């Protein structure tokens, strides 16, 4: 279902679940993203992901995969959340998320809105815990998560080797009460 979100600068975006027909737009988005930031795991020149597998992931009932579309139909932001071990009697209520937005759209409220959408979905699924990873130098990301009620569980040392340097990552989580 389409939803409209108005950014702080007045631009309107369409937010909806990612579908098979969006595959090319997703690949273009990831390609752009990879050239703008080292805070996700997308890297420049990354081979295109297998189409069938990508589409299967968009449509899994244990995932929510939202895209934010500008008026010209291009994707400018995405968020996804996936139950880690669906149906597991002990850990089946835990889910991991990832979020990415193009630079031109930073700081306009989209990240906050998308985080609220995954939390809403997680609560409807009766999930207990949402978790993720964030590079320790990603101040904007860390601020966003802390503002949304996430806590830092701990630091993983030297997880990613980027441009000649090792980068640490925080593990973050929010318990849904
Ligand atoms: C991190 C990211 C998702 C944040 O989304 P966003 O749309 O820019 O965030 P919002 O505009 O909703 O701002 C949310 C909060 O982030 C923080 N923030 C925003 N701009 C900031 C800045 N320049 N410096 C530090 N914190 C900042 C603020 O706490 C802000 O809340 P406030 O506006 O109520 O004060 C987005 O910038 C992004 O995709 N970055 C590149 C990829 C990435 O880092 N992904 C996350 C990997 S873990």
Give how many domains the chain has, as a whole number.
1
**Whose alpha carbon is nearest atom 4 of ligand 1?**
111
Determine whether the shortest distance from the Cβ of 143 to ligand 1 is under 6 A: yes
Query: What is the C-alpha separation between 121 and 124, in angstroms, rounded?
Result: 5
Query: What is the C-alpha separation between 127 and 168, in angstroms, rounded?
Result: 28
In a domain, 144, yes or no: no
In a domain, 38, yes or no: yes
In a domain, 174, yes or no: no
How far apart are the CA of 36 and the centre of ligand 1, in A? 14
What's 93's domain CATH number?
3.40.630.30
How far apart are the CA of 118 and the centre of ligand 1, in A? 16
Structural domain for 102, as ranges: 3-126
At 63 the pLDDT is: 95
151: three-class secondary structure by DSSP:
strand
155: three-class secondary structure by DSSP:
strand
At 49 the pLDDT is: 79
Determine whether the shortest distance from the Cβ of 160 to ligand 1 is under 6 A: no
At 143 the pLDDT is: 98
31-82 pLDDT, tens digit each: 999 999 999 999 999 987 789 999 999 999 999 999 999 999 999 999 999 9
* Percent of the chain topping pLDDT 90: 95
How far apart are the CA of 110 and the centre of ligand 1, in A? 8
> DSSP letter string over 19-82?
-GGGHHHHHHHHHHHHHH-SSSS--TTPPPPPHHHHHHHHH-TTEEEEEEE-TTS-EEEEEEEE
User: Considering the chain, what is the average pLDDT of its residues?
Assistant: 97
CB burial of 60-83 (b: ≥16 within 10 Å; e: otherwise) equals eeebbbbbbbbeeeebbbbbbbeb
89-122 pLDDT, tens digit each: 999 999 999 999 999 999 999 999 999 999 999 9
Query: What is the C-alpha separation between 98 and 131, in angstroms, rounded?
Result: 9
């Amino acid at each position: 279902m389409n939803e409209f979100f108005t950014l702080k600068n007045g631009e309107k975006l369409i937010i909806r679940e990612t579908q098979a027909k969006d595959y090319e737009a997703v690949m273009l988005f990831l390609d752009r993203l990879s050239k703008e930031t080292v805070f996700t795991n997308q890297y420049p020149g990354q081979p295109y992901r297998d189409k069938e597998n990508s589409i299967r992931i968009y449509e899994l009932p244990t995932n929510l995969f939202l895209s934010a579309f500008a008026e010209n139909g291009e994707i400018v932001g995405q968020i996804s959340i996936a139950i880690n071990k669906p149906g597991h009697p002990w850990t089946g209520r835990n889910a991991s998320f990832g979020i990415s937005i193009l630079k031109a759209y930073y700081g306009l409220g989209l990240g906050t809105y998308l985080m609220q959408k995954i939390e809403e979905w997680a609560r409807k699924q009766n999930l207990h815990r949402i978790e993720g990873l964030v590079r320790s130098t990603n101040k904007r990301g860390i601020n966003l998560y802390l503002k949304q009620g996430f806590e830092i569980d701990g630091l993983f040392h030297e997880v990613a080797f980027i441009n000649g340097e090792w980068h640490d990552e925080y593990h973050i989580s929010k318990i849904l009460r």
